[in-house]
Amino acid sequence: MTDYRQGFDDLTREIHEPELPVDGDWPDWLSGTLIRNGPAQFSVGDQDYRHWFDGHAMLHAFRMDNGTVSYRNRFLETKSRTEALAAGEIVRSEFATDPCRSLFGRVMSVFNPTPTDNASINVARLDDQYVAMTETPLPVAFDPETLNTVGVVDYDDDVDAQMTTAHPHVEPDTGTIFTYQTAFGRQSEYQICSLPSDRAKRTVRASLDVARPSYMHSFGMTEQYVILSEWPLVVDPLDLLLRGQPFIENFEWMPERGTRFRILRKADGAEVATCTADAAFAFHHVNAFEQDGEIACDIVTYPDASIIDELYLDNLRGEKPSPGTGSLRRYQLPLEGGRAPSHVLSEETLELPRLHEASARAQPYNIVYGIGTRHEGNFADQLVKIDVESEEAQTWHAGGTYPGEPVFVPRPDATAEDDGVLLSVVLDPADDHSFLLVLDAATFAERARATVPHAIPFGFHGQFFE
Ligand SMILES: [Fe+2]
């Protein structure tokens, strides 16, 4: 086993390589840019960020054209980063790291909160802008060519919320973006918001009062419905104000609550049903679709929320890493509400799930891709393809390497759901670099790889833009 821990080292070098060396049969039809996001600096001065989700966001762009591929990487120049570099210490509160503050400073920060804009989780196109996103509603716009930071997007509305998801859904027919937000207050609420494809203006389509909001990294959407999956990791909003703990450490695991699926109709915002299931936790919804009076809702689940603890950097850099992968589980949510049965679709574990967006999203479908764990006790060390109908799986690995989220790109004029390639940034610690892997999505055989001149820290999500 090679040392995966290189994936949690800082990368502070910013470079542009006009043409990466390529081995193999690079598809000549592959034209566009893969932009990936993830943390790349885990300390400032002599202070360390505590969690994988806390490091400073860095963008990586692979531009592909006529069989060649270029590479560029840049930090996102957020206020969170620039203030910290100027001060020589951590300034803004992150997911699991708080700056050192006196009681006075803590009280002042309650009245003058400076939420993080360290948008390290995902990227998207919003309006005519490319944005990096995290779980505060402060998307950061950037130039897709230079990766220069433009700045926090100023929403053209007066919607007020403190927490959101970095995994919005796009309605296939209209391009309308749907997201969910949580507004903390004397009466906290979940809000379902929509944004037209051409304007950064949120409209609240539905709101639900909630006493103890759940930590929900993503949500589900079908043609007609939005599904909020309330895992029993919940917070008393007063604790966010008064306890002075890093954000996520205010949330409590309350398994006696079980899991509640709140189903809302997109058309009028009405809550049509609540379904219940045993306690579980998840980051990622995979897909959801309507069928025979119920919603099939596929989610990468964990038995509890201890996966969040496993992803603290001290644990990831320790002797017993988390595999960082969960189980692909299908919940069957009756549209009249009630108990939701579920079952695990594959013995292969999975994370960072991806689909053929245009053909599979919100439809009956077959194929999920993701990272997985081949060797027990290792960090995620393989790519996985699961057929949710046959429940069969295929895997790809290359000894001693660690692949990241596989992004599916369909071949032009493809008809089959898996006719295309997967793009995954793979860490090769033995050779002290990463490479961009091109995997045939149908056969799961390697087609080509392009070598990057440095090791890229483990990231989260990316998108392919044509
Ligand atoms: Fe995510």
The per-residue pLDDT for 335 is: 97
| Ligand 1 geometric centre to CA of 351 (Å) | 9
CATH assignment at residue 215: 2.130.10
Task: Specify the pLDDT at position 111.
Answer: 44
Residue numbers of the domain that contains 437: 4-465
Residue 386 to residue 121: CA distance in whole angstroms: 24
Tell me, in angstroms, the distance from the centre of ligand 1 to residue 460's CA: 6
Alpha carbon of 108 to ligand 1 centroid (Å): 31
Cα–chain center distance at 396 = 22
- Taking residues 65-84, what's their average pLDDT? 94
- If one compares 115 and 393, the residue with the highest pLDDT of the two is 393
pLDDT for the residue numbered 36: 98
Q: What is the pLDDT of residue 245?
A: 82
Quick check: 186 pLDDT over 90? no
Q: Are strands 16-17 and 32-41 parallel, antiparallel or unpaired?
A: unpaired
CA of 163 to the centre of ligand 1 (A): 14
Tokens of 252: 């409590």
Residue 74, pLDDT above cutoff 90:
yes
Report which of 257, 186, 244, 155 is spatially closest to residue 215, judged by C-alpha positions: 257
Average the pLDDT over 403-416 and give the result. 96
Lowest mean pLDDT among 32-36, 241-245, 328-332, 361-365: 241-245
Predicted confidence at residue 128, as pLDDT, reads 83
Q: What is the pTM of this model?
A: 0.95
Q: Which residue has the higher pLDDT, 422 or 162?
A: 422
Residue-wise DSSP of 247-297:
GGGG-EE-GGG-EEEEEEETTT--EEEEEEE---EEEEEEEEEEETTEEEE
pLDDT of residue 112: 45
Average pLDDT, the chain: 93
> How much distance in Å is there from the Cα of 369 to the middle of ligand 1?
14
Higher pLDDT, 178 or 128: 178
pLDDT of residue 101: 56
Per-residue pLDDT, 100:
65
Over 60: is that where the pLDDT of 22 sits? yes
When pLDDT is averaged across residues 359-386 and rounded to a whole number, the result is 95
* Residue 272 CA, ligand 1 centroid: distance in Å: 27
How many domains would you assign to the chain?
Answer: 1
Ligand 1 centroid from CA 355, angstroms:
14
Q: How many Å lie between the centroid of ligand 1 and the Cα of residue 24? A: 31
pLDDT tens-digit series, residues 286-313: 999 999 999 999 999 999 999 999 999 9
Q: What is the whole-number distance in angstroms between the Cα of residue 54 and the centre of ligand 1? A: 13
Q: CB count, 10 Å around CB of 43?
A: 14
Share of the chain above pLDDT 90, in %: 80
Model pLDDT, residue 1: 60
Give 270 Cα–ligand 1 centroid separation in angstroms: 27
pLDDT at 410 (0 to 100): 97
Can you tell me the mean pLDDT for 242-258? 90
Instruction: Tell me the mean pLDDT in the region 91-110.
Output: 65
| Ligand 1 midpoint to CA 285 (Å) | 9
Region 217-237: mean pLDDT is 97
CA 375/CA 175 separation, integer angstroms:
41
**Residue 218: its pLDDT value, please?**
98
Contact 56, 39 (CB under 8 A): yes
Confidence of residue 108 (pLDDT cuts 50, 70, 90): very low
